[in-house]
Amino acid sequence: MAKRRTSKPKYSIATLLVMLILAVLYNYNQKTQPDSPRKGNDTKEVRALKTFTGKVTAVKDGDTFEVLYDGQPERVRLAEIDCPEKKQAYGMKAKQYASDLCFGKIVTVESGGKRDRYGRVVGTVITQEGINVNEEMIKAGYAWHYKDYSNNAQLGVYEEQARQQHLGLWAAKRPQAPWEYRRDIRRRK
């Protein structure tokens, strides 16, 4: 009778466990790299845009647009202002007003190359007719002067005028600032 040969596993359980942990850590690290300003699996290269002209193809909310530039969409966040969130009081009215100002129009975005943590271009949007959308949103009472990110005193003056005239969201008794609304949402989660 011939002896049966027993084969030993090529890798021990401990080695397999270490390899599994390393693979999981590598995968996690690839998904959470801080040098990528875009969310998700979007590996599109971020363009350094200081001033560019394009067509507004979408209005996401009162202060976030999509502008088609050089055949590619760019998300643009209006600088120095903050509009109510869509689910917040006056949020949909702010979105509609922004849409009336620039949806489907050619605009120039002046950003100085700034982007926010979500990869959006942060800038001032000016229509071909010379309308400064950032200023108009405040003048109509659909945005706050975002003082934490702005030292533009004129925007403060426009906000105060809108408050005194009870325009837009200033018609409410105590409108909630969007940054407070977002903070409350985070606390509830």
Catalytic entry in 74, 80, 120, 135: 120
Task: Please give the helix or strand (H or E) that residue 148 lies within, else none.
Answer: none
Clarify whether 135 is annotated catalytic: no
- Given the residues 80, 85, 135, 136, the one annotated as active site: 85
C-alpha–C-alpha distance, residues 35 and 87, integer Å: 31
- Does 85 participate in catalysis according to the annotation? yes
**Would residue 66 show up in a list of annotated catalytic residues for this protein?**
no
The active-site residue out of 74, 75, 77, 115 is 77
H or E, element range at 33: none
Contacts of 121 (CB under 8 A, 6+ apart): 49, 74, 75, 76, 77, 109, 111, 114, 115
Answer for the pair 56, 99: CB distance below 8 angstroms, yes or no: no
- Residues 6 or more apart in contact with residue 60 via CB below 8 angstroms: 66, 75, 95
The span from the CA of 119 to the CA of 59, in Å, is 17
Please identify every residue annotated as catalytic.
77, 85, 120
